[in-house]
Amino acid sequence: MRTQVAIIGAGPAGLVLAHLLARAGIDAVVLERRTRDYVEGRVRAGVLEQGTVALLAELGLDARLRAEGLVHTGTNIAYDGRLFRIDMAALTGGSTVTVYGQQEVMRDLFDAAEARGVRILFEAEDVAICGIETDSPSVRFRRGGSGHTLACDWIAGCDGFHGASRAAMPADVLKVFERVYPFGWLGILAEVAPVNHELIYANHENGFALASMRSPTRSRYYVQVGLDERIEDWSDARFWDELAVRLGPEAAAGLERGPSFEKSIAPLRSFVAEPMRHGRLFLAGDAAHIVPPTGAKGMNLAVSDVAMLAEALVRHYRDGDPSGLDGYSERALARIWKAERFSWWFTGLTHRFPDMDPFARRMQVAELAYIRGSRAAQTVLAENYVGLPLA
Ligand code: FAD
Ligand code: DHB
């Protein structure tokens, strides 16, 4: 088997890349360890930046997104029993975000794949990356009980944080930067109307809470929990009570409760691996970096990485110009580090840290009060939240 670009992983990074390459007439094969149902079933991101929506529109993959996605012109912050709104559109010259679940994005990408010649091999196991320092790299894998080799020009490692691609980079080449946070997010989905028509990020003495949604009838809520907490200890009743306390009386007024049908705990981490290219191997998305979810940057970064990578591959194949590929890592990392900074800062502003003393708590509240009263501070938040330009 031979292709121009072997893509490992059919998450948002891998599949958006495959669609971008297919549109440009570049041959690619996606190798995915799991089944389509598994990938599509994972409840993860919910908020799309303006640029992510624009890219999906450019690919003509936005019909359902336009019909069902919820465009938000603002977001809200609750603290100390107060609630204030940040008018993102007014502060950024009209930019917005769109609430549309990662599951829906994946469904749209998968549904369009076959007709557009996007080739995906599901249940490709034991992927091994070979020859990245040579001109003839390949990927070996097992599928349907037998071994296969996919020869290619380039390998795109889009296989997430626990994938094989980053591990295939020589240890002496890779630099890793990391913060592990001493808490996680417990998230639920429930078939109830959202408490508010926009998101609410809440800072409370007990810890962070987030009110989000998937549709006008489906809510997505999160509360910060300790790393030692067990999901079995969080009955729905306990979750709803704690969420109401943390959102505060104003924000929680009208909170509709109901049975949860998804409940999971996700740890929080900041992580960047540099560089994002070695020889014939490129990394993109969670394979190269992780942000804590505060600010909803993870999936959007995966998409902006592959937008840059696809542009570089097109310049290489169409114009014989290698400069895009040579500059990919530096260009992608410049934007990634800004999103890392924003996600780290927004996490620090809104969460309770175990070692927080009364001074640190006062600093948080002072910063929230400052943002509440300052158009300049709100503009900084808004322009990061809607997504920085690709540059
Ligand atoms: P992944 O989605 O992890 O996809 C990688 C794919 O590679 C997977 O399908 C995996 O099965 C496959 N794979 C792995 N290893 C191999 C292998 N060895 N061989 C073959 N295939 C392999 N982001 C946002 O932008 N907004 C949000 O609101 C947001 N909220 C989040 C909430 C939660 C609870 C979580 C957990 C994440 C959230 N994120 C959010 C982050 C977002 O989900 C990820 O950043 C995004 O999925 C990254 O896409 P990816 O394609 O790089 O990686
Ligand atoms: C969601 C997740 C986030 O991390 C965030 O900042 C906003 C919304 C969500 O899952 O809806």
Range of the domain at 195: 179-268+352-385
Asked whether residue 62 falls in the same domain as residue 121, the answer is yes
Residue 79: active-site member: no
Identify the pLDDT of residue 132: 98
Q: What is the pLDDT of residue 227?
A: 95
Residues 335-364: pLDDT tens digits?
999 999 999 999 999 999 999 999 999 999
Question: Do 48 and 131 lie in a common domain?
Answer: yes
What is the predicted pLDDT for the residue at 150?
A: 98
Asked if 368 contacts 201 with a C-beta cutoff of 8 angstroms, the reply is no
pLDDT at residue 47 tops 90: yes
In a domain, 87, yes or no: no
Q: How confident is the model at residue 13 (pLDDT cuts 50, 70, 90)?
A: very high
Q: Ligand 1 pocket, 266 CB below 6 A?
A: yes
Asked if the structure places residue 92 within a domain, the reply is no
Is any ligand 1 atom within 6 A of the Cβ of residue 288? no
Residue 16 token pair: 């958006």
Do the Cβ atoms of 77 and 368 come closer than 8 Å? Answer: yes
Residue 158 Cβ < 6 Å to ligand 1:
yes
Sheet holding 218-225, edge to edge: 82-86, 75-79, 200-203, 209-215, 218-225, 175-190, 260-274, 289-290
In DSSP terms, 348 is beta-bridged to none
Which two structure tokens, joined as six digits, stand for 339? Answer: 């999103």
Active-site residue, selected from the candidate residues 79, 221, 222, 385: 385
From 42, 44, 47, mutation site for ligand 2 pocket: most ligand atoms within 8 A of C-beta: 47
Is 201 noted as a catalytic residue in this protein?
A: yes
CB distance 219 to 213 below 8 Å: yes
**Whether the predicted pLDDT of 384 surpasses 90:** yes
Point out the domain boundary residue: 347, 362, 377. Answer: 347
The answer to whether residues 388 and 338 touch, using CB atoms and an 8 Å cutoff, is yes
pTM over 0.90: yes
What Cα–Cα distance (Å) separates residue 68 from each residue in 42, 58, 63, 259, 389? 19, 18, 9, 24, 25
> Are 317 and 247 within one domain?
no
194 lines ligand 1 (CB under 6 A): no
In a domain, 228, yes or no: yes
| 223 and 330 belong to one structural domain | no
Name the residue of 55, 143, 286, 336 to mutate for ligand 1: max ligand atoms within 8 A of Cβ.
286
Give dist(CA 265, CA 44) in Å, integer.
Answer: 11
3-class SS shares of the chain: helix, strand, coil, % to 5: 40, 30, 30
Element spanning 138, H or E: strand 138-143
Q: Are 127 and 141 in contact (CB under 8 A)?
A: yes
CA 100 to chain centre: 12
Which tens digit of pLDDT belongs to each residue from 234-244? 999 999 999 99
CATH value at residue 102: 3.50.50.60
Q: 171 and 188: one domain?
A: no
Q: Looking at residues 11-17, what average pLDDT do you find?
A: 98
Residue 249 inside a domain? The answer is: yes
Are 38 and 115 contained in the same domain? yes
Whether residues 59 and 169 share a domain: the answer is yes
Question: Active-site residue 297, yes or no?
Answer: yes
For position 369, what pLDDT does the model report? 97
pLDDT of residue 267 exceeding 90? yes
Is the shortest distance between the CB of 12 and ligand 1 below 6 Å?
A: yes
Distance CA 269, CA 182 (A): 9
**Do residues 367 and 380 lie in contact, with contact meaning Cβ atoms separated by under 8 Å?**
no
pLDDT at position 391 is 80
Q: Tell me the β-bridge partners of 141.
A: 148
For residue 136, report the phi and psi dihedrals to the nearest 5 degrees.
Answer: -130, 70
Q: Whose CA is nearest to atom 5 of ligand 2?
A: 296
Average pLDDT over residues 146-166: 98
Whose alpha carbon is nearest atom 30 of ligand 1?
45
135: three-class secondary structure by DSSP: coil
Q: Spot the catalytic one: 293, 317, 328, 351.
A: 293
| 171 and 128 inside one domain | yes
CATH number of the domain that 218 lies in?
3.30.9.10
pLDDT at position 334: 98
pLDDT tens across 279-331, in order? 999 999 999 999 999 999 999 999 999 999 999 999 999 999 999 999 999 99
- Mean pLDDT over 150-160 rounds to 98
Residues 6+ apart with CB under 8 A from 145: none
Q: Which of 289, 297, 316, 351 is catalytic?
A: 297
Distance 296 CA to ligand 2 centre (A): 5
pLDDT at 248: 96
Whether the CB-CB separation of 232 and 148 falls below 8 Å is answered with: no
Instruction: Examine the domain organization and report whether 127 and 214 are in the same domain.
Output: no
Rounded CA separation 61/110 (Å): 10
Say whether both 61 and 132 belong to one domain: yes
Is 61 in the same domain as 198? no
Q: Does ipTM top 0.90?
A: yes
Ligand 2 midpoint to CA 228 (Å): 22
Q: Which atom of ligand 1 is nearest to the CA of 185?
A: 34
pLDDT of residue 81: 87
Answer yes or no: 170 catalytic. Answer: no
Q: Tell whether 186 is covered by a domain.
A: yes
Ligand 1 pocket member 40 (CB < 6 A): no
Total domains, the chain: 2
The verdict on 226 and 145 lying in the same domain is: no
As a whole number of angstroms, the distance between CA 295 and CA 274 comes to 23
Q: Is the CB of 296 under 6 A from ligand 1?
A: yes
The H-assigned helical ranges of the chain are 12-23, 36-41, 50-58, 63-68, 88-91, 102-113, 236-252, 298-319, 323-350, 358-373, 375-385
Per residue in 169-213, pLDDT (tens digit) is: 999 999 999 999 999 999 999 999 999 999 999 999 999 999 999
